[in-house]
Amino acid sequence: MLDFIVADRVPLFGMDVDRFNFAIYIYEEATQVLNCVACRRPHRMEEDADHRSWEPGEGHVGMAYQGKREYIAEDTSKPDARQIFDAPEPKRRPDDLERYRSIASIPIRLGKGDPVGVLVATRDVASRFYLPSERGDPARDPVEPLRVLAREVALIIELTDLYRRVGVDES
């Protein structure tokens, strides 16, 4: 599903030559951490590399999961954003600030239920993701396509879980 937004990243987000990352983190009960289960980056080598896992409340991924709300940073280099969006030690990496300059973390959940995970989009250019103002053009909200995708992912996970619980053959 990430491929849909990656394929249309230019009209949806104005991404062209940016270094981007779209990822889905799912919470695993057994380990009690959020693990990356799918990601799309400009290079396959980066997609296949090891990804950090996050505990609830840890980093913007863990905060979006625990707080059950979106975390959107227009520019993570600003001091107030760094307080919130800098990864905690020892998980912080030297190039985090350069690579993750603009961030959107969206909980994957239906309604007001508990999230099953977090959808994350990052770019290495500031001001790519931002909170739209009340008076701004809602058609230009760069986070809306991510919300739609997060809901679709939540719906699919809920449905497959329902099938498993009632023992219906999904094929």
Partner 1 sequence: MMQRKPEQWPMSPIEALDLEIADKVGRLSNGTATAEDVSEATRLIRERTDRMMPSVFRRLRAERKAKRSPALGASA
State the residues that interact with partner 1 by CB under 8 A. 57, 63, 67, 69-72, 79-80, 83-84, 111-112, 131-132, 134, 137-139, 141, 143-144, 147
Look at residues 99, 1, 6 and name the one whose alpha carbon lies nearest to residue 51: 99
Shortest Å distance, C-beta 15 to partner 1: 19
Residue 78 identity (one-letter amino acid): K
Closest CB to partner 1 among 43 and 112? 112
Q: Is the dihedral of CA 12, 17, 19, 21 positive or negative?
A: positive
Closest CB to partner 1 among 20 and 71? 71
Q: Where are the alpha helices (DSSP H) in the chain?
A: 2-7, 9-13, 44-48, 59-67, 79-85, 96-99, 144-166
Shortest Å distance, C-beta 138 to partner 1: 4
Shortest Å distance, C-beta 122 to partner 1: 16
Element of type H or E holding 120: strand 117-123
Closest CB to partner 1 among 90 and 138? 138
